[in-house]
């Protein structure tokens, strides 16, 4: 079957429906959902039962770049800065030095066991050097692993921030394959330029995006997620246009936004969560369609050797070396090294040699696909078992679940619900709720203004005399709320609900 305008929506929607249904049941058998998306794409492809003819690396790369923007942005929005802050430098070390060591060690191994020259070997090593954010985010969160000692934020920070490093190395070594006369110093120059500009523009874009979202007054709430999507792509495209790393900029912008208050934040987070899953499915299906399984058979032997070396040697050694300056138990280091899942990102990066037309591009692509497949299959299915074996998972504590009614009528709830009046001349008068920097542990449930009851959102402007019904998890949060409203905690008007 040849994809056309007439049938692409039908075929695409059927594959999407099958992926969602199969994905829902996959975890009963411990199979990562992303593997099934790839397999469905392969079965639907030209070598499979579907017979769909798809051989367009340029389109696959475009879909990959768009998808990675959504995946990284969604992951950044979900990144809690307070959780990440204690392990920030560990994550940075893993996502830079760890990726570099993985690329070099694996590249040298490929050079030793194949007929690749040194630059071609390093190119392959660079392509598979980063852990895949889509694979790590989806597997860790779907399995709901409760890991000890900040392991989970460490793994998510690494996977969300190491794609830029792998991208820089891939582009740099690809340039050396095409122009072997260039010096290795050019790799360092490209790296420093891309990471510096990407980091700077990502932070500035986060600040500008927050200002635009809060200041613009759109008539329809549904337009705010669209606005954020536009800001995301502007961040990527503009950073890339000036020589920076767009992926890094998108991730940093999202981390900044995710830890700030902005209008309709909850609805935007929900939209992005759904979009991230959608693009993951589309991306893995596309890459599955792009692969010809019959062409993977000739690379099985080198593929197995490279995959085993990556899982058992290159990744563990790079993790152990990059974490030397930090205090961490050996068991935790070992588990971090095992969660080195490769997924769609290396396959997307493997389309760059195809488009560049280098001699061994086809072989590189097929080996990378095989390595990614085996990585998710072997490592992804054993994350829970290994976590328990290494004793890095928190023990399950069975607690009786309270209903919402029981929670609201308990003594504890008396510390959670307050009514606070906005005073005349207070600093909150005339300001939007989103501008007050409310603590995350407190929300305004409803506003009583005269005889009216208003359901607030971030764009609601407070007026003097407004009675705010505050939901909070502790008395300390109430104190923070009073500071935001400019009232005195001891003397302000406050009623228990």
437-479: per-residue pLDDT in tens? 777 777 787 888 888 888 887 778 888 888 888 877 677 777 7
Q: What is the pLDDT of residue 101?
A: 94
* CA proximity to 87, closest of 321, 315, 327, 339: 327
Name which of 16-20, 68-72, 197-201, 215-219 the model is least confident about.
Answer: 16-20
Question: What integer pLDDT is reported at residue 228 of this predicted model?
Answer: 93
Question: How many angstroms separate the most distant Cα atoms in the chain?
Answer: 81
What architecture is the 8-389 domain classified under in CATH?
Up-down Bundle (1.20)
Give the closest residue to 102 by CA, choosing from 311, 251, 333, 339. Answer: 311
Q: φ and ψ at 186, to 5 degrees?
A: -65, -30
Domain ranges of the chain: 8-389, 410-496
Residues 160, 306: Cα–Cα separation, whole Å = 24
User: 321 pLDDT band (50/70/90 cuts)?
Assistant: very high
Percentage with pLDDT > 90 across the chain? 21
- Comparison of pLDDT for 368 and 413, the residue scoring more: 368
The continuous run of DSSP H or E covering 477 comes out as helix 475-485
Taking the C-alpha atoms of residue 368 and residue 352, their distance in angstroms, rounded to an integer, is 12
Is the pLDDT confidence value at 408 over 50?
Answer: no
pLDDT band at 26 (very low <50, low <70, confident <90, very high): low
In angstroms, the CA 332 to CA 328 distance is 6
- Which of 67-76, 326-335, 470-479 comes out lowest in average pLDDT? 470-479
Q: Please write the tens of the pLDDT for every residue from 372-406.
A: 888 888 887 787 788 888 888 766 553 334 444 34
Tokens, residue 36: 């099934």
Its pTM stands at 0.76
Asked: is 410-496 a CATH 3.30.70.1450 domain? The reply is: yes
* Tokens linked to 241: 């246009």
Sheet of 417-421: strands edge to edge? Answer: 452-454, 442-449, 467-472, 417-421, 494-496
Task: Over range 285-300, report the average pLDDT.
Answer: 82
The pLDDT tens digits for 191-224 are 788 888 999 999 999 999 999 998 888 878 888 8
Would you say 489 and 439 are in contact if contact means Cβ atoms under 8 Å apart? Answer: no
For 254-272, the pLDDT digits (tens) are 999 988 888 888 888 888 8
Beta bridge partners of 469: 419, 446
Q: What is the pLDDT of residue 488?
A: 60
Cα–Cα dist 428/448, whole Å: 16
Contact 367, 305 (CB under 8 A): no
Does residue 227 surpass a pLDDT of 50?
yes
């Amino acid at each position: 079957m040849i994809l056309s305008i007439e049938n692409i929506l039908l075929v695409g929607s059927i594959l999407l429906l099958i992926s969602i249904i199969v994905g829902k049941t996959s975890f009963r058998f411990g199979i990562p959902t992303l593997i099934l998306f790839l397999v469905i794409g392969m079965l639907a492809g030209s070598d499979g039962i579907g017979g769909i003819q798809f051989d367009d690396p340029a389109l696959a790369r475009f879909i990959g770049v768009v998808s990675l923007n959504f995946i990284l942005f969604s992951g950044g929005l979900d990144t809690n800065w307070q959780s990440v802050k204690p392990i920030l430098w560990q994550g940075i070390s893993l996502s830079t030095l760890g990726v570099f060591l993985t690329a070099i060690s694996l590249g040298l191994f490929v050079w030793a066991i194949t007929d690749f020259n040194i630059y071609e070997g390093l190119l392959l090593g660079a392509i598979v050097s980063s852990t895949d954010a889509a694979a790590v985010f989806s597997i860790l969160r779907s399995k709901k692993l409760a890991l000890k000692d900040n392991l989970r934020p460490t793994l998510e920070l690494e996977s969300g921030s190491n794609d830029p490093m792998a991208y820089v190395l891939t582009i740099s070594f690809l340039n050396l394959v095409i122009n072997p006369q260039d010096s290795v110093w050019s790799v360092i120059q490209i790296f420093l330029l891309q990471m510096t500009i990407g980091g700077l523009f990502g932070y500035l874009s986060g600040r500008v995006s927050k200002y635009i979202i809060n200041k613009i007054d759109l008539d329809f709430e549904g337009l705010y997620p669209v606005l954020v999507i536009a800001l995301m792509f502007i961040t990527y495209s503009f950073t890339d246009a000036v020589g920076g790393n767009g992926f890094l900029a998108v991730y940093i912008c999202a981390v900044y936004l995710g830890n700030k208050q902005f209008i309709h934040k909850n609805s935007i987070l929900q939209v992005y969560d759904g979009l991230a899953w959608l693009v993951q499915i589309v991306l893995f299906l596309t890459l599955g369609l792009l692969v010809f399984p019959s062409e993977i058979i000739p690379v099985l032997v080198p593929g197995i050797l490279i995959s085993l070396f990556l899982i058992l040697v290159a990744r563990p050694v790079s993790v152990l070396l990059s974490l030397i300056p930090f205090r961490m138990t050996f068991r935790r280091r070992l588990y971090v090294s095992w969660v080195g899942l490769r997924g769609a990102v290396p396959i997307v990066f493997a389309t760059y040699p195809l488009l560049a037309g280098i001699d061994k591009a086809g072989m590189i692509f097929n080996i990378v696909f095989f390595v990614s497949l085996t990585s998710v299959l072997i490592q992804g299915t054993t994350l829970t078992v290994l976590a328990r074996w290494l004793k890095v998972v928190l023990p399950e504590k069975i607690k009786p679940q309270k209903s919402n009614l029981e929670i609201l009528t308990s003594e504890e709830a008396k510390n959670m619900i307050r009514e606070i009046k906005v005073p005349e001349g207070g600093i909150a008068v005339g300001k939007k709720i989103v501008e007050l920097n409310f603590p995350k542990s407190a929300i305004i449930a409803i506003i009583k203004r005269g005889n009216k009851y208003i359901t607030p959102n971030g764009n609601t402007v407070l007026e003097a005399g407004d009675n705010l019904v505050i939901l909070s998890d502790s008395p300390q949060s109430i104190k923070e709320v009073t500071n935001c409203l400019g009232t005195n905690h001891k003397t302000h008007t406050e009623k228990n609900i």
